[in-house]
A and B are shown apart, each in its own frame.
Chain A
């Protein structure tokens, strides 16, 4: 199966690989996994006081499509509000990367990772306020 040029580009030059301090209040961490292929994905967002995602980092162990999907969403979420980021759909990721049907679950994983990171951040904020 051939990867699309965009997948290869993200796979060979992944954007925003790395880790943030998950203990920090402004950081939301999303960890998701795909049992079918054993992929594991960590997506982290750094959120400004006015609720804008300033920075994003990821670390993914998995196939090229999973790495490309997470790399792409780190680019997409930057500058977005939490609500805007949560609205990113896996279909948009799959379309942008021209993922074949058997790799759609990689884009689902990336979508779930964003939601998990946003939820983690919100949970932290909630517990700080109370």
Chain B
């Protein structure tokens, strides 16, 4: 196993936002078998250390590619774009207003006659928002990669756009997690 390969290469997947999840998991499992530290229990210290490093690398790789937001951030990183959430607070006002409204809805869920209907309505909206952003991200990512291909990567183009979309994806994901948390407290 080559630690210098990127995670897509590691699992023999094309570098793309769309990935074949079953291929990823198959590749992960077969690699995991090879590097599993148990196989090196009687090996040298160097072999043991290497197998632990590789197992950790594999886990990080599968975790990065499995989750859409992490995968998007990683794709941008491979293009030399570092996403820094801490710096980016000036998000689209429309998007933030929607988020504020959704948070208000979430807060009101417990007071509803049937909170589960309210929860489902939230999940539905979140699913739509996620889908829209994934499509937007893919389009923005394609623009970046084709810009680089044509030698027009001077950094002032659409890169910010892709980062903004990833920030929104992350935002929506956090909301989804909070809806899940609330749902767990309901029953």
Residues of A with Cβ closer than 8 Å to B? Answer: 31-38, 40, 42, 59, 61, 105, 108-109, 112, 116
Contacts and interface: CB of A to CB of B under 8 A. Distances in A.
A105 B91 contact: no
Contacts of B175: 38
B128 interface: no
Given A31-B97, A38-B175, A40-B99, A112 B167 contact: no
A59 B86 contact: no
A60 to B, nearest CB: 9
Contact of B89 (A34, A42, A59, A61): A34
Contacts of A61: 99-100, 103, 107
Nearest to A39: B174
Contacts of B150: none
A108 B89 contact: yes
Interface string B66-89: 000000000000000000011011
A14 to B, nearest CB: 14
B89 A40 contact: no
Nearest to A105: B86
Given A40-B96, A61-B100, A34 B85 contact: yes
